[in-house]
Chain A
Amino acid sequence: MRVIVDPVLCEGNGVCTQVAPEIFELGDDDRARVLVEHPTEARRAEVETAVRRCPRRAIRLVEG
């Protein structure tokens, strides 16, 4: 799986960085950055929670 953040949609509220601090980080531009673009399956639940909890729907999870 691959994790993508849309920098235009992202408002930098840090919900994802709280849910999955090892996958996301907030940059100096107040936008979320993906630290681990291809996380292992073990991280799937965390990433899915971040996708669902993102208030801006700025995170996408693509298979493959």
Chain B
Amino acid sequence: MELNPFSYEFQENPYPIYRWLRDHEPLHRNEQLEFWALSRFRDVLPSLVDWATYSSAEGVVLERLDPKMLEATPMMISLDPPRHDRLRKLVSRAFTPRRVESLEPFVRATAIRLLEPLVAEGGGDFVKDFSTPLPMEVIFTLLGVPDADRRQLREWTDVALERDPDTPAIPARALEASLNQMRYWYDLIGELRRRPNDGLMCGLFEAEVETDGGTTRLSDGEIIGFCTLLGAAGNETTTKLLANAAVLFARHPEEYRKILADPARLSGAIEEILRHSSPAQYAARTVMRDVEWYGRTVPQGARMLLLIGSANRDEREYRDPDRFDVDRQIPEPLGFGQGVHYCLGASLARLETRVALEEFGKRFPRYAVDEAGCRRVHMSNVHGFASVPFVRCA
């Protein structure tokens, strides 16, 4: 069997291939696409944490990113310590549980505003009408993006991540969308330097970064890097997690009834959605020294995929791993990564998901998803839906 993250068929249902890999080739080699992959929980977890051996500096997706681009707009997600830590430190305080909790009323009001027309219509498209605009309003408000620009910017984020079937080549439309996005951030930075607002971005203008010699201000490229990363990470995965939740609960009404009856179980349920249907299916790394796995040597410089989506379904770690069980105990969550790159937005994503599902549950205690009408996104490591039509049931 072969693992090709760009195969649309694989994206539709990656789990049978993962299972085969865990059982037969826990270290997998794809000659053609030139990568290696680890699929077992106990192999993925320590490798995620070991940043010195598994470097993020060439990007965390399989497709080759232009090194000049990576350097022009540096992002913490594709940097190793110590540079990684210096950038992360500048924004980490904006995403602490306390700061995130203060956003709850805004998140809730936004969720309710978006759900109202769906209630009136008796349904709609969960992704287009709800799980896309909700995280978008939240992260773009935090960054200080003007209302009028949000939809366009959000669309570029989607297109920038789209991939054609079976190939790691980045499509022209995706490159163009990335450039449009960068140009947009560049212009906005200029405008906000002249007329600041209270968004996170303006805080970055004043931020001081440590260097080996002293401190400096962030360059425009670094600020663009922050905005691009927070824009993409803050939008894409949360949109996917929410829609995965909507589909899972529609397929498992008995589990849905449990969280409706006892909202205290929702937080646990969110961890289970993250495990069962992880939006981030893998993290790619570059191997910094020869490493031994299962009697083979993975040479220095090789690309290694750490298959989070597979580790989360490993029967060596979880009983009956394909079962969706909102009461499952998850002592070692992997859905937000682990180690130095542990998702900066984890508290925010958890809050958005909880509030969104609470408000959705109040309005749609019974609903059905039109499975034939669902469409998936075709991205490299982000799995989920582009469209999930649903209707309220009596």
Contacts and interface: CB of A to CB of B under 8 A. Distances in A.
Interface stretch (B22-30, B93-101, B143-151): B93-101
Contacts of A30: 93, 96, 98-99
A49 B49 CA distance: 13
Given A26-B98, A30-B98, A30-B99, A12 B93 contact: yes
Nearest to A30: B96
A13 B92 contact: yes
Interface in B79-122: 88-89, 92-93, 95-99
Given A53-B338, A55-B340, A13 B98 contact: no
A11 B35 CA distance: 34
A13 B96 contact: yes
Contacts of B49: 52
B302 to A, nearest CB: 26
B339 A55 contact: yes
Contacts of A52: 49
Interface in B190-249: none
B41 to A, nearest CB: 15
B338 A13 contact: no
B87 to A, nearest CB: 12
Nearest to A9: B85
A55 B338 contact: yes
A14 B336 CA distance: 14
B7 interface: no
A15 interface: yes
A53 B336 CA distance: 12
A15 B342 CA distance: 10
Interface of A: 11-15, 17, 26, 28, 30, 49, 52-53, 55-56
Interface of B: 49, 88-89, 92-93, 95-99, 331, 338-342, 344, 346-347
